[in-house]
Amino acid sequence: MNNTFFTILGWVATVTAMAMYVSYIPQISNNLKGLKGDWLQPLVAAINCTLWVTYGLLKKPKRDWPVAIANSPGIIFGLIAFITAI
């Protein structure tokens, strides 16, 4: 397979991963309304995303931007969902 295929695949996976983490918004909204959701899964997702962002930014010789960008929303939305659920 050629490099273009993997570049496109990486960015499509980036967009879908970001959509997955943005989908925490309804849970956050429910948490704020008093309909508390689970706190463990968003916390673990935030930790996992922190590790992947760190990997993507520190990878040598070339940073892995799709991995870092894809997981960045998971840190933010995971932590917000966690905090609002407790």
Q: Each residue of 7-40: pLDDT tens digit? A: 899 889 989 999 999 999 999 999 999 999 999 9
Q: Which long-range contacts (CB under 8 A, 24 or more apart) does 5-8 make?
A: none
Q: Are 48 and 74 in contact (CB under 8 A)?
A: yes
Supply 77's token pair.
């939305």
Q: What is the pLDDT of residue 11?
A: 86
pLDDT at 86: 95
The number of domains in the chain is 1
Residue 44 lies in a domain: yes
DSSP character for 38?
-
Identify whether 74 is part of a domain.
yes
pLDDT at residue 74 above 90?
yes
- Enclosing domain of residue 27: 21-85
pLDDT band at 68 (very low <50, low <70, confident <90, very high): very high
CA distance 23 to 40: 16
For residue 8, tell me if it sits in a domain: no
Q: What span, in angstroms and rounded, lies between the C-alpha atoms of 10 and 7?
A: 5
Cβ(24)–Cβ(78) below 8 Å = yes
Residue 52 near residue 68, CB atoms below 8 Å? yes
Confidence tier at 43 by pLDDT (50, 70, 90)? very high
- Please check whether residue 21 is in contact with residue 74, taking contact to mean a CB–CB distance below 8 angstroms: yes
Report pTM. Answer: 0.87
Does 6 map to a domain? no
